[in-house]
């Protein structure tokens, strides 16, 4: 497992060196999960101890990159060592100004 971690860290450094990487981090085990669910009791915030995942697939980590388009984003992960063991999902960030009723956007993403 440590060799696998080293391989993913090496890939993260490659993404950083190319100027694409904004954030990379594995997630803690699903057993540490806490779930906030207001659907069942709208007037009250409900917390549930994990594990809560009701699927065989779980999110193992998060990598946030900056790319010109989806084709460039896919190319950045063509040699990712994780792809040999599991599925990688690539998604664009949503344009936050278009779905707001007021037209106000979310605060800008800032590192550090």
CA dist 39 → 16, 21, 32, 47, 63 (Å):
39, 35, 22, 11, 29
pLDDT one-digit tens code per residue, 33-78: 777 766 666 666 555 555 555 666 778 899 999 999 999 999 999 9
Position 33 in a domain? yes
Q: Tell me, what CATH number does 54's domain have?
A: 3.30.70.1060
What pTM does this model have?
0.72
Residue 97 and residue 100: Cα distance in Å, rounded?
6
| Residue 60, pLDDT score | 86
Tell me, yes or no, whether 74 lies in a domain: yes
- Is the residue at 96 inside a domain? no
- Give the up-direction half-sphere exposure of residue 101: CA atoms within 13 A in the CB hemisphere: 0
Q: Is residue 44 part of a domain?
A: yes
- Per the structure, the complete domain to which residue 7 belongs is given by 2-84
The total number of structural domains in the chain stands at 1
Binned at pLDDT 50, 70 and 90, residue 104 comes out as confident
């Amino acid at each position: 497992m440590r060799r696998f971690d080293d391989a993913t860290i090496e890939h993260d450094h490659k993404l950083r060196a190319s100027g694409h990487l904004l954030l990379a981090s594995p997630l803690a085990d699903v057993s540490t999960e806490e779930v906030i669910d207001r659907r069942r009791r709208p007037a009250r915030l409900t917390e549930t101890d994990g594990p809560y995942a009701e699927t065989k697939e779980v999110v193992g980590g998060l990598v946030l990159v900056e790319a010109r388009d989806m084709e460039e984003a896919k190319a950045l992960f063509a040699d990712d060592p994780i792809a040999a063991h599991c599925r990688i999902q690539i998604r664009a960030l949503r344009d936050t100004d278009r779905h707001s009723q007021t037209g106000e956007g979310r605060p800008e993403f800032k590192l550090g």
